Amino acid sequence: MPENAMPGPSVAENAILLHACCGPCSITCILRLRDMGFAPTLYSHNPNIHPLMEYLRRRDGLLAVAQRLDVPVILPDQDDPTQAAPDSWLAAMSPLGPAVADMARRCPVCYDLRLAHTAQAARALGFPRFSSTLLYSKYQNHEAIIAAGERHAGPGLDFVPEDFRPGWDEGIRLSKEWEIYRQPYCGCLLSEHDRYRKKVRLRA
């Protein structure tokens, strides 16, 4: 549990710790949760985002959204953003061996790593529930995200499996209007490779 993660001694009954991957994906998740009567706090734990300068760009975008929507944000790496090294992600992927190239194999492991950390923080801080902005993306495996969330929920801690995808277009519109950094690939170096491989091949 990060030492600097301290939302206060009493957490509201409607509080929810929202694992947030980036600014653009957070926008409509925050708005939707508020519509549902929840009071979200953002929690950023994303050792899957590489390289470091890309991680920092997304982190800055997340902070800009938090400021604009007046949402509390907890950054486990608040004092030193370079703590967000990819070590834990690489360690989690290592048992996969060559199968790491397969999204269907690596992404569920990636979700589990981030939601396990978020659930641990939610318990330590007294949040009664948690969710993830990963459920906003049309490109992620929702069944695997929900399975990971439910695996790490338990007595006193619910996972909210809200489907945020209906806010997809609005999230894109607002992130452009607010000039929030929009990433061109999912996060890990493998996704960056997948993203550009076809273009590079066409150029060759």
Determine if residue 15 is left, alpha or beta; phi over 0 gives left, psi from -120 to 50 gives alpha, anything else beta: beta
Cβ-based nearer residue to ligand SF4, 7 or 171: 171
110 binds ligand SF4 (CB under 6 A): yes
106 binds ligand SF4 (CB under 6 A): yes
175 binds ligand SF4 (CB under 6 A): no
Which residues are annotated binding-site positions?
21-22, 107, 110
Which residues are annotated binding-site positions for [4Fe-4S] cluster?
21-22, 107, 110
In the complex, minimum distance from the CB of residue 73 to ligand SF4, in angstroms, rounded to a whole number: 21
186 binds ligand SF4 (CB under 6 A): yes
What is the rounded distance in angstroms from the CA atom of residue 13 to the CA atom of residue 183? 34
29 binds ligand SF4 (CB under 6 A): no
Instruction: Select from 26, 48, 118, 183 the one that contacts ligand SF4 (CB under 6 A).
Output: 48
Cβ-based nearer residue to ligand SF4, 48 or 133: 48
- Distances from the Cα of 33 to the Cα of 28, 40, 96, 129, 133, angstroms: 8, 7, 35, 12, 11
In the complex, minimum distance from the CB of residue 49 to ligand SF4, in angstroms, rounded to a whole number: 7
Q: Which residues bind ligand SF4 (CB under 6 A)?
A: 48, 103, 106-107, 110, 186-188, 190-191
